[in-house]
Amino acid sequence: MSKPRIVFVINYFYPDYASTGQILTELCLHLQHDFDITVIAQQPGYAGEKKDAKAPRYAEDRLENISILRIRLPEVDKRSKASRLRYISAYFLHAVRLLLRQRKADFVYTISQPPVLGGLIGTIGKLALRSRHIYNIQDFNPEQAQAVGFMNHPLLQRTALLLDKLNCRLADHVILVGQDMKETLVRRFGGKNVPPHSVINNWTDEQDIVPLKRDDPGVAAFLKRHGLEDKFVVMYSGNLGLYYDLENLIRIAPQFRELSDLMFVFIGEGAVKPLMEQFAREQGLTNVLFLPYQPKDQLRYSLGAADVHLVVNQKGIKGVSVPSKIYGVMAAGKAVMGVLEEGSEAHRLIRDSGCGTSTEPQRYGDAARQLMALYSLGRAGLAERGLQGRDYLERHLRRSLSLEKYRELLLSLHAGGGRGRKIPSGRAAAAVGRPQAEAGAAARVLTHSNLKGGDR
């Protein structure tokens, strides 16, 4: 009997750095034995790698049993709306073109990137190919764009919201990555005739990212390489993008000048990085260090080098997006300082696990005071909090649990021919042995291929 076929249309995929690319790569590797998988994605370039302008528009690739169709897209300047729109338009048109070339698909699986258009690609594929559409909402838009002032035109906002509500309505199943996002979906429809949906959290590889002490050889080498051996390290590791208010949060750094052992370390790339670097130069800050994304096989050491990790979101992001970096930080057994709205998914995880503290976005005085309080705890007190986060993750947020929820959902959709059923949170534990082994195999593939550790 032939396996059901899924076409994933996802802008980032192996070996790209984006967290969604890494998560969906691991998902496809986990599903490849039960499904025939084709992925439509752009050429790698999330971290600003130069692309070959002479490369063919479309190229074929493979990862194990997964067929990959790659699209060459224009370079994008994430600080420019015009550049973003050119990139998004090109991706949308070429992705739809490749999708419509697929002769048969039981499922079209899309994510909420590019904003709204990711869902529209799935709607078009569903209608044209007569397949079922799985819509994975990693970020709600236009709500996210509104929260950071990226979209301020009322007519465009209303049109985008109506379109994405239609995408949700026509989808056979909507997958959300946080309980607070479920509340947003229900609110979108006024609590009536809400589309079939499930909440399946994102993850990290908790078998690869593990608690490490500062004297671990890999951690010690990272600290020495960057002159951090005697420093209390406050780290942000991930996308330095529009949705985190980092360009303003960095303004608390001058308040810590007199603590000669405290160092802010920002790892990653993104639209606001130049603004942050400019502020650090103008202020003559010697307690701020910027580093590029770290290779996947070094990520455990860079995460392990921090005393405190920043997990932040811009105001208005509650129920709209979940910062995936929270899972890696908890896996590393590190204390968290959150700058998050109360009731958001990441705030809930910090509160329920006891792994750190949190303050509301844009309350920079509170953020500085909370950071000083964490500094005063010392490494022993911080280690205790961090290990509480690790224990919570092992009990509730293991990668195998989320992967198996996806597998059960898709198999139930195929077998039932309907719009799917919600997957209870405890069901994935009955993973019948195979998923754990496959999850480990997937991790080895990614690690050996030097997949890099970007984050949302």
Cα distance between residue 57 and residue 282, in whole Å: 42
- Say if residue 439's pLDDT is above 50: no
Structural contact between residues 367 and 339, judged by C-beta atoms closer than 8 angstroms: yes
Pairing of strands 308-312, 58-63: unpaired
Rg (Cα) of the chain, in Å, rounded? Answer: 21
Cα distance between residue 77 and residue 313, in whole Å: 22
Helices 154-170 and 179-188 pack at an angle, to 10 degrees, of 100
Structural contact between residues 125 and 131, judged by C-beta atoms closer than 8 angstroms: yes
pLDDT digits (tens, 9 = 90+) for 148-185: 777 778 898 999 999 999 999 999 999 999 999 999 99
Token representation of residue 327? 């899972």
| pTM of the shown model | 0.86
- Say if residue 78's pLDDT is above 80: no
CA distances from 202 to 24, 134, 183, 328 (A): 10, 16, 17, 10
Predicted local confidence at residue 427, as pLDDT = 40
Residues of the chain above pLDDT 90, percent: 77
* 53-67, 321-335, 430-444, range with greatest mean pLDDT: 321-335
Helices 179-188 and 345-353 pack at an angle, to 10 degrees, of 150
Phi, psi at residue 264, to the nearest 5°? Answer: -85, 125
Cα distance between residue 124 and residue 132, in whole Å: 11
Predicted local confidence at residue 433, as pLDDT = 37
State the pLDDT confidence band at 448, using cuts at 50, 70 and 90.
very low
pLDDT digits (tens, 9 = 90+) for 394-436: 999 999 999 999 999 999 999 986 554 454 444 443 333 343 4
- Say if residue 449's pLDDT is above 70: no
Considering only residues 250 and 428, tell me which one the structure prediction assigns the higher pLDDT: 250
- Say if residue 299's pLDDT is above 70: yes
The average pLDDT across 45-71 equals 81
Cα distance between residue 306 and residue 317, in whole Å: 25
Predicted local confidence at residue 52, as pLDDT = 66
Residues of the chain above pLDDT 70, percent: 88
The helix/strand/coil state of 56 is coil
Predicted local confidence at residue 57, as pLDDT = 92
List own/partner pairs for 283-289 with CB under 8 A and 24 or more apart.
283/253, 283/254, 285/253, 285/254, 285/257, 287/253, 287/256, 287/257, 287/259, 287/262, 287/263, 288/250, 288/253, 288/263, 288/264, 289/226, 289/228, 289/263, 289/264, 289/265
49 exposed, middle or buried (CB, 10 Å; 0-12, 13-18, 19+)?
exposed
- Say if residue 254's pLDDT is above 60: yes
Cα distance between residue 171 and residue 134, in whole Å: 6
Helix H or strand E encompassing 357: strand 356-359
- Say if residue 38's pLDDT is above 80: yes
The average pLDDT across 377-388 equals 96
- Say if residue 103's pLDDT is above 60: yes
Partner residues linked to 66 by β-bridges: 63
Predicted local confidence at residue 446, as pLDDT = 45
CA distances from 114 to 3, 86, 143, 164 (A): 29, 12, 13, 12
Predicted local confidence at residue 158, as pLDDT = 93
Ramachandran class of 417: left when φ > 0, alpha when ψ lies in -120 to 50, beta otherwise = left
Residue 142 DSSP symbol:
T
- For the ranges 60-74, 208-222, 404-418, the lowest mean pLDDT is seen at 404-418
Predicted local confidence at residue 447, as pLDDT = 38
